[in-house]
Amino acid sequence: MVAMIDRSPWGFRAQDIWGKFCPDETLRKIPKRVYGVFDRIDEPVIRGDFPDRLVIGNPNRCIYICEGDGSVMRSGIDSPEFINSDVNKFIWSLETFAQFYPYYTDDTEIESIRRKEGEIKKALVSIDKAVSRDTDFWFGLLEDFESYGEFSTEFLFDEYGVDAATD
């Protein structure tokens, strides 16, 4: 796997109450980080103000697993924002995004970047058909991918120390 993803294990001691969100063995598969996409918090947490959510990540807004259907969401400004239908699809999507790295350099033509963006979008939708709607998380990420150069090899190296070397 490329340097884009950090698979350091999650060292929490499982709590029975977390089982209503997803199985412990599934939680333990969530990577520690996919640079520029997702950062895992130190331990899952159920906050008192939202007992129906298991918080697992903290990028710009907290990422959580919903009780009941196990979908993965992000706290939006006005309402929750959909990420994936379940935790396994979320993990698979993170890994798929990381597998596309290296993405492009600062000198890559925009047409080439758009092709790569299209390939990633197609891969993400094939993992989770619910992503085909215009989800703010993945599609917003892919907008940053093209528009702001946030996934050029130079940016990822400068910002996170990520290089194109593979494990």
Classify 77 as helix, strand or coil. coil
Rounded distance between C-alpha atoms, residue 72 and residue 69, angstroms: 9
- Read off the pLDDT band of 75 (50, 70, 90): confident
- pLDDT tens column, 14-40: 888 898 999 999 999 999 999 999 999
- Cis status of the peptide bond prior to 23, with omega within 30 of 0: no
Percent of the chain with pLDDT over 90: 63
CA-based nearest residue to 66, from 90, 98, 42, 92: 90
Average model confidence (pLDDT) for the chain?
89
Tokens of 132: 């085909």
Residue 92 has pLDDT above 90, yes or no: yes
- Read off the pLDDT band of 167 (50, 70, 90): very low
